[in-house]
Amino acid sequence: MEKDDQYQMSKRMKNGSQKLGWLLICAVSILCSTRVYAQVNGDEDKEMFNRGKARDRQETDKAVKGWWTASMKNRDRRIAWWREAKFGMFIHWGIYSGPGGEWKGKKVSGYAEHLMRKEKISRAEYLDLAHIFSPVKFNADEWAAHAKRAGMKYLVITAKHHDGFAMYDSKLSDFTIIKQTPFKRDPMKELREACKKQGIRFGFYYSHAFDWEHPQAPGNDWEYKNPGGDLNLHGGRDWYDLHPDLLEKAKKYVDEKAIPQIRELLNNYHPDILWFDTPHKLPLSENIRILQAIRETDGNVVVNGRLVRSAEANFGDYKNTADRPAEFFPVTGDWEAIPTTNESYGYHTYDNSHKPVAHFIQLLASAASRGGNLLMNIGPKGDGAFDTKDLAILDGIGDWMQRNGESIYGTVASPLPLQNWGVSTMKGNKLYLHVFHFPADGKLHVGGLRSGIVSARYVTAPQQKIGFSRVSPTDYVLQVGARAIDTVNTVIVLEIKEKILTDSIRYLSPNISQTRLLAFDATQTGNGFSFGDGKTDRYYVENWKSKDQSLSWTFRTTAEASFRIHMKYIAAENDGGAFLLTSDSGFRKEGTVMGDKKAGVTTNDLGIIRLKPGIHTLTLAAVSISKTELMKILEIDLDKSPD
């Protein structure tokens, strides 16, 4: 997998007409820069979108003024099942699953599915792996049953990853599971049928832009000396702008392998969804041609957001955010995130960094609360069995989903302002409160709800009514008792009398010990900020390069209280300067930032702030910037302090 771009999706179009207008603008404003951008070494690229060029205008115009706009007329209908589903299983499984992150007795760190690239394995030697690939424990019915029990409503599996090896019966290549392995079965066909029996939507991941076995495709710079790889050959990332002759080679690959295989998958397997990645390895014009071929073949298949997009526009049915997220930056519209159980997408023998079940339950609720889907990855072993650690995670999520699924499926982003006890989702006239931090005194404060509550109950115990009282025009207190029904995520459903009306100001419940003010949720002043990808310790706001830039958080309190303020940030070697944190209450704290080569997370104690009931704003500003940027700010924490 690759890291997603961090362009500001929150500024995107909100409906079809806005989208068309936006793209018409993009069609005549694609950048023509001649700067050379280097391919980033490693498993991930910082930016995963196309930097548009003049040559792309023709394909963009043709799409926006013709076939693409026509194809978007039925978008809402084709994506309806995906919006309802909310939760899916992602599977990375291929020849690389056999070695499982090991090559010739040596541990290979990082993404196991990148083995061929990492170890510079030739096509011939990679075929030796295929010749011993025999997943005798593969059972499509069991795989689909695992997804079903976990509460997953759709499944996406790698039909062909970056290694170019087809895990299905492709008639267009000899680099396939049927022709090169002793297994001699088509697991994609079997899994398609198994998912159909379970009522699970089915789809494919197809690596269209990276293909390490094909002599004319981008990526393989160790055997074919092709562009798009770690060596930055032929001008680096934007090789196709500098070497038109090489672009002609890549077009030949697209015409002879990528498009024909995608059509083969559509015609022979009829997937519900196609999932693509790394669009920046090909120019925008080629990605548009591939999407056009898909729409000509099947107008109903859902296509993710990593096939055709530039920094300005996205031609997919929904947007993709970051890989392996721990937090989510703001996104409008339909979107999807792709966590994995550990830190590798393909099975990795040495990667035992599996997150707890609680992590995924809360991540799923958080995604749904912001209008997103979660496509959670599993990397089966080379023998076809699921790792027992993955099964434990799936079973744990499944137990919770079986009891609380109604608070996830078919929900939309909640209008309730951010609460420090958890998150909320909405469906019709119902608000679902996902309580991660249960109040010790048995009183759940819900802030910012203007509408009247008809009833309150636990989703898992509908017969147990919850008492509630309105304490102000915008606030309620629920009598939830001293013990949480679920220590990970207790879900309470509020039935609302009429249309759900709320305010927009974050609410600090007076009986929750900590409030996290994430940089992702701050109001930005000044130009230039960008988001980190949301991974653990990378959910920061960066590119703080001017004193004209600042971040602020506005929130409301209903009780006088004191808080100790902690600031978490990362300061790399080229970061440094001075900051000032102020509030409307008179709090003022100045501090310095010193860069460090290790660039780990630093937590600074900024002292005590005393707040009276009311609306408050904390503002973080730059006093001076002594190096490239001030810092990468993660969050400001307000920890309740004894009076």
Structural element, H or E, at residue 557: strand 550-557
pLDDT of residue 321: 86
pLDDT of residue 11: 36
pLDDT of residue 21: 42
The most distant pair of C-alpha atoms in the chain lies apart, rounded to whole Å, by: 73
Name the amino acid, one letter, at 359: H
* 78 contacts: CB under 8 Å, gap ≥ 6: 299, 300, 301, 302, 317
Closest CA to 541 of 551, 527, 531: 531
Determine the Cα–Cα distance for residues 456 and 492; give it in Å rounded to an integer.
Answer: 7
Determine the Cα–Cα distance for residues 637 and 463; give it in Å rounded to an integer.
Answer: 37
Q: Is the pLDDT of residue 247 over 50?
A: yes
Mean pLDDT of the chain: 92
Could you tell me which residues are beta bridge partners of residue 50? 310
When pLDDT is cut at 50, 70 and 90, the band that residue 599 belongs to is confident
* 104 contacts: CB under 8 Å, gap ≥ 6: none
Compute the average pLDDT of residues 173-192: 98
Q: What is the pLDDT of residues 132-167, one digit of tens each?
A: 999 999 999 999 999 999 999 999 999 999 999 999
Determine the Cα–Cα distance for residues 324 and 577; give it in Å rounded to an integer.
Answer: 31
Tokens for 525, please give them: 């002043």
Q: What is the pLDDT of residues 276-315, one digit of tens each?
A: 999 999 999 999 999 999 999 999 999 999 999 877 779 9
* 535 contacts: CB under 8 Å, gap ≥ 6: 322, 323, 324, 325, 326
Could you tell me which residues are beta bridge partners of residue 303? 274
Determine the Cα–Cα distance for residues 513 and 535; give it in Å rounded to an integer.
Answer: 25
Compute the average pLDDT of residues 38-64: 71
pLDDT of residue 42: 62
Q: What is the pLDDT of residues 374-411, one digit of tens each?
A: 999 999 999 999 999 999 999 999 999 999 999 999 99
Q: Which domains does the chain have, with CATH numbers?
A: 9-38+48-403 (3.20.20.80), 412-500 (2.60.40.1180), 514-641 (2.60.120.260)
Judge contact between 219 and 228, C-beta under 8 A.
Answer: yes
What count of other Cβ atoms lies within 10 Å of the Cβ of residue 119? Answer: 15
Number of H helices, E strands in the chain: 15, 30
Backbone dihedral region for residue 403 (phi beyond 0: left; psi -120 to 50: alpha; all else: beta): alpha
Determine the Cα–Cα distance for residues 332 and 84; give it in Å rounded to an integer.
Answer: 17
Sheet holding 154-160, edge to edge: 302-303, 273-275, 201-206, 154-160, 87-91, 372-378, 335-338, 319-323
CA angle 399, 82, 87 (to 5 degrees): 20
Q: Is the pLDDT of residue 22 over 60?
A: no
Q: What is the pLDDT of residues 451-493, one digit of tens each?
A: 999 999 999 999 999 999 999 999 999 999 989 999 999 999 9
Determine the Cα–Cα distance for residues 533 and 329; give it in Å rounded to an integer.
Answer: 8
Cα 520 vs. chain centroid, distance in angstroms? 14
- Which CA distances in Å does 416 have to 201, 413, 484? 31, 9, 22
Q: At what angle do helices 259-269 and 187-198 cross, to 10 degrees?
A: 40
Extended strands (E) in 36-169: 87-91, 102-103, 106-107, 154-160
* 118 contacts: CB under 8 Å, gap ≥ 6: 103, 108, 110
Dihedral sign of CA atoms 307, 368, 615, 531 in order? negative
Determine the Cα–Cα distance for residues 60 and 32; give it in Å rounded to an integer.
Answer: 14
Dihedral sign of CA atoms 577, 578, 581, 582 in order? negative
Closest CA to 136 of 456, 382, 301: 382
Q: At what angle do helices 388-404 and 357-369 cross, to 10 degrees?
A: 50
Could you tell me which residues are beta bridge partners of residue 601? 570
When pLDDT is cut at 50, 70 and 90, the band that residue 499 belongs to is very high
3-state secondary structure (DSSP) of residue 145:
helix
CA angle 60, 257, 292 (to 5 degrees): 25
* 44 contacts: CB under 8 Å, gap ≥ 6: 1, 2, 3, 323
pLDDT of residue 41: 55
3-state secondary structure (DSSP) of residue 168:
coil
Q: Kindly give the pairing relationship between strand 102-103 and strand 87-91.
A: unpaired
3-state SS, one letter per residue, for 359-413: HHHHHHHHHHHCCEEEEEEECCCCCCCCCHHHHHHHHHHHHHHHHHHHHCCCCEE
Q: Is the pLDDT of residue 123 over 90?
A: yes
Determine the Cα–Cα distance for residues 272 and 201; give it in Å rounded to an integer.
Answer: 6
Does this model's pTM top 0.85? My answer is: yes
Side-chain half-sphere of 241: how many Cα atoms within 13 Å? 21
Name the amino acid, one letter, at 27: A
